[in-house]
Structure 1
Amino acid sequence: MNRIAVSPSVLQWARERAHLGIENLAAKFPKLLEWERGESLPTFKQLESFAKATHVPFGYLFLPEPPDIPLPIPDFRMLENRQLRSASPDLLDTLYAMQRRQAWLREARLECEAEPLSFVGSARLKDDPAAIGREMRRVLGLGNGWAAGVRTWQEAVSGLRNAMESLGIMAVVNGVVGNNNRRKLNVEEFRGFALSDVYAPLVFVNGADAKSAQMFTLAHELAHVWLGTEGSGLSGFPGVFPDGGVVEMFCDQAAAEFLVPETELRLHWQEARRDDAPFELLACWFKVSPIVIGRRVMDLRLVDRQVFFDFYEAYTRQERRQKQEVSGGGDFYNNQNVRVGRLFAVQVIRAAKEGRIGFKQAYDLTGLNGGAFQEYARRLGMELP
């Protein structure tokens, strides 16, 4: 049986890039540790299976050393003052898919002679981020108390997404790669990203995160769109004091004012402060994480730092004990409303219906094939021949 000479370091790179341990692959590749040590070699068929298991292009495994695959957008993620350089196949595949969607929609809008969206790139880093947060809220048409008027975090996320899409922003929330529930996105790797463009801006939120956290990420990435090309990039903002530089700080502050306006918070704090769990109470009102409320209250000097940090430590311990809320369940076609988005789906379906693009391209753009594409079009009220 022919064995293939491959670099042990490339095999290790492929495994680690996919965030997999030896134990995760041991059942399928019992000699993987020997391969990585250079003590034995895989067969061609084993190498093909390994490439599929680690989501790495097959040709990469024949390189003499691990390749450097740069992120296609700026990286604002920071951890302990270190910029995170690596990107998993799941993240990269998601980024590439969103870039393809954006490029297609941009061309479609240009062909229709659409006007550029004036709010994209309307902010500058020298601006007051709180003022930008208020302007974002005004443009989206969200008045005071809008989040308190909906029952659940899910409805609040949907309401914010719909408001963004009504402006022409593709707002995608997904916790997996496409529709592959076996490839879950890692919240510890990234929370979201923004692809700014004056014709087809796109915001992506990691749907594996809790719904209350998704609200903040949506607003944070929306601030990136307001900054335009100087704000396009990948966000992680781990911890309670993210250190992603001036861009991330600006977007955090704009998002905080957008979701939890200072005047509204001060008004409700007078009553909430007498409650046994004031941060949780206000979190239900504003539909954000209690940590966002606590941090906002501390920043406005309504409580001292020790009160907030005591709460933060207790809350995060409790959160770690609970099962993380993961997107991916529920009705498949309802999931497409957030994984693809009505704004984008309607444009693609209409183009396919009118013969401006082939159905294969429509399937590739939406990630829906054959009958699934037809059924989703029907549910959107767009019957196909």
Structure 2
Amino acid sequence: MAEVLTGVNGQILRWARENYNMTPGETAAAIGVDEARYLRWENGEEFPTYAKLKKVSEVLHKPSALFFFPEPPQIDNVKGDLRTLPGEVSNRLSRQVIQAFETARSYQMDLQELYGVRQSVLALRHTFPTEQEALCQYFRDRMDFPISAQKARHSDKVVFEIFREKFYELGIYVFKDAFKDNSVSGLCLNDDYFPIIMINNSMSFARQNFTLFHELYHLIANTSGAEIIRDDYYIYLDEQQSHVEKACDSFANEFLVPMEDFKTELKKQPLDEMRIADLASLYAVSKEAIMYKLYTMKIITPADYNALKETFYGDAIRNQQKKPERSGGNYYYTKLSYLGSKYTGDVFSQYFSGKIDSYRASEMLHSKVDHLPKLESVYFRGVK
């Protein structure tokens, strides 16, 4: 007979569930019990078994011991960081997206331990140009990566990794994760010292490039944020929130596809469907970004642009067909792509110097201790 727990606090069950915007029915289904039974746990009428509490812990992303506390802990809700999103939107974010915000917070703490006090370029916000084109040029100059170099790469994936390393040098830290929710392409947590951008790895690399700069503008504007793929949420935004989101999109588009350079490209060949695809490839962006540029230039109508939105949404998501595994195991290459080479290298440097032990290194790398040797091997094979 399964042993039933006593003393599990139903209030904490409810607090943890609501933290992730989950209904009782969704939570019960994820745990593997019927809704009525789960609600009896929340109401203190029954208690879960040890096995079910372990599943509760996995689903609600909280240690089992927490559910025995007399009252919920005083932990800031990540939704409080999202001033640019109203409650009607933030209260509908999925558990997976909120967990991505929590992961971003854990990276902030890891970076603080790794580097101590390390000021980001964002601490200089008061010196940034206010005009958009000048602001884009300011960051181009700081990154030392002119538009000609971006266009010469002919790979949206390569361009993303170059920008990622440039961001790191400016004190803006970019990580990836599988959000398991394709409604959000990325998010950011604002901070003067350790600002974090998290990219949904399920998005196309072209979309990842755009999201990178959408989130950068959130940070420039001194806000945390999330890039939601579909723009029907705009109806819930107030005037200021709408202004920030539109400014994020406008900045990302202007940075990646500078207007003056784009006008020069348009003169080279007649504009047709193939030419639009070529321009997207040239700038390492999506066809949506090119069409948006044409829309802002009044070359295509709002009706033309809106008619293509469903196609854009589909293009944003990467082809998830299985690819042959590389030697050493796909898991380790994926993990390294999530972490980035600079962060991974600095964690290993601290580990080899004895400043952190294997357990702390594995925590910083969001991996298991027994995976550390293989992760190390794959990392150093890649940097040779």
Instruction: Name the TM-score, length of structure 1 as normaliser.
Output: 0.76
2:299 match = 302
Query: CA separation of 1:342/1:9 partners in 2, compared to 1, >3 Å: closer, same or farther?
Result: closer
Distance (Å, rounded) in 1 between the aligned partners of 2:301 and 2:99: 43
1:236 match = 227
1:283 match = 280
1:130 match = 133
Query: CA separation of 1:128/1:82 partners in 2, compared to 1, >3 Å: closer, same or farther?
Result: farther
Query: CA separation of 1:194/1:268 partners in 2, compared to 1, >3 Å: closer, same or farther?
Result: farther
SS for the counterpart of 1:193 is strand
2:308 match = 311
Contact 1:17-1:89 within 8 A present in 2 as well:
yes
SS for the counterpart of 2:130 is coil
Query: CA separation of 1:344/1:248 partners in 2, compared to 1, >3 Å: closer, same or farther?
Result: same
2:214 match = 220
1:174 match = 177
SS for the counterpart of 1:191 is strand
1:84 match = 90
**Per-residue deviation, 1:137:** 1.8
Contact 2:214-2:227 within 8 A present in 1 as well:
no
What pairs up with 1:139-158 in 2 under 5 angstroms?
139-158=142-161
Contact 1:192-1:205 within 8 A present in 2 as well:
yes
1:180 match = none
2:235 counterpart of 1:260: no
2:345 match = 346
> What do you get for the CA RMSD once the two structures are aligned?
4.1
Contact 1:125-1:247 within 8 A present in 2 as well:
no
Q: Number of aligned pairs?
A: 364
2:39 match = 36
Contact 1:18-1:88 within 8 A present in 2 as well:
yes
Structure number with greater CO (CA < 8 Å, separation at least 6) is 1
Determine which of 198, 203, 211 is the counterpart of 2:205.
211
SS for the counterpart of 1:205 is strand
Query: CA separation of 1:85/1:168 partners in 2, compared to 1, >3 Å: closer, same or farther?
Result: same
Distance (Å, rounded) in 2 between the aligned partners of 1:291 and 1:285: 14
What pairs up with 1:88-107 in 2 under 5 angstroms?
88-107=94-113
Q: Residues 238-279 of structure 1, C-alpha deviation per residue, up to 9 Å, x if partnerless? A: 335855434333332221111110011112223465323554
Determine which of 168, 191, 213 is the counterpart of 2:186.
191
Distance (Å, rounded) in 2 between the aligned partners of 1:240 and 1:258: 21
Query: CA separation of 1:34/1:100 partners in 2, compared to 1, >3 Å: closer, same or farther?
Result: closer
Distance (Å, rounded) in 1 between the aligned partners of 2:81 and 2:26: 33
Which structure features the higher share of helix residues?
A: 2
Distance (Å, rounded) in 1 between the aligned partners of 2:16 and 2:191: 31
Contact 1:171-1:202 within 8 A present in 2 as well:
yes
Q: Output the amino acid matched with 1:52.
A: S
Q: Output the amino acid matched with 2:151.
A: A
Distance (Å, rounded) in 1 between the aligned partners of 2:30 and 2:188: 35
1:178 match = none
Distance (Å, rounded) in 2 between the aligned partners of 1:239 and 1:167: 30
SS for the counterpart of 1:139 is helix
Query: CA separation of 1:324/1:61 partners in 2, compared to 1, >3 Å: closer, same or farther?
Result: farther
Contact 1:123-1:132 within 8 A present in 2 as well:
no
Deviates more, 1:154-163 or 1:369-378: 369-378
**Per-residue deviation, 1:345:** 1.9
1:51 match = 56
Q: Output the amino acid matched with 2:217.
A: A
**Per-residue deviation, 1:303:** 2.2
Q: Residues 54-100 of structure 1, C-alpha deviation per residue, up to 9 Å, x if partnerless? A: 224344588899x9962176215648x94423555544443334333
Contact 1:169-1:201 within 8 A present in 2 as well:
yes
2:70 counterpart of 1:70: no
Query: CA separation of 1:148/1:8 partners in 2, compared to 1, >3 Å: closer, same or farther?
Result: same
Query: CA separation of 1:9/1:145 partners in 2, compared to 1, >3 Å: closer, same or farther?
Result: same
* Percent identity for Structure 1 against Structure 2: 13
Q: Output the amino acid matched with 1:280.
A: A
Q: Residues 112-160 of structure 1, C-alpha deviation per residue, up to 9 Å, x if partnerless? A: xx6x344544268981233212221221122224343234332222222
Query: CA separation of 1:270/1:37 partners in 2, compared to 1, >3 Å: closer, same or farther?
Result: farther
SS for the counterpart of 1:171 is strand
**Per-residue deviation, 1:312:** 2.7
Deviates more, 1:253-262 or 1:369-378: 369-378
Distance (Å, rounded) in 2 between the aligned partners of 1:12 and 1:169: 32
Distance (Å, rounded) in 2 between the aligned partners of 1:96 and 1:346: 23
1:367 match = 366
Query: CA separation of 1:63/1:44 partners in 2, compared to 1, >3 Å: closer, same or farther?
Result: farther
Contact 1:345-1:366 within 8 A present in 2 as well:
yes
Q: Output the amino acid matched with 1:281.
A: D
Distance (Å, rounded) in 2 between the aligned partners of 1:11 and 1:269: 57
Query: CA separation of 1:83/1:130 partners in 2, compared to 1, >3 Å: closer, same or farther?
Result: farther
Query: CA separation of 1:373/1:272 partners in 2, compared to 1, >3 Å: closer, same or farther?
Result: farther
Q: Residues 160-187 of structure 1, C-alpha deviation per residue, up to 9 Å, x if partnerless? A: 2122234443221221xxxxxxxx4323
Query: CA separation of 1:323/1:288 partners in 2, compared to 1, >3 Å: closer, same or farther?
Result: closer
Distance (Å, rounded) in 2 between the aligned partners of 1:16 and 1:202: 21
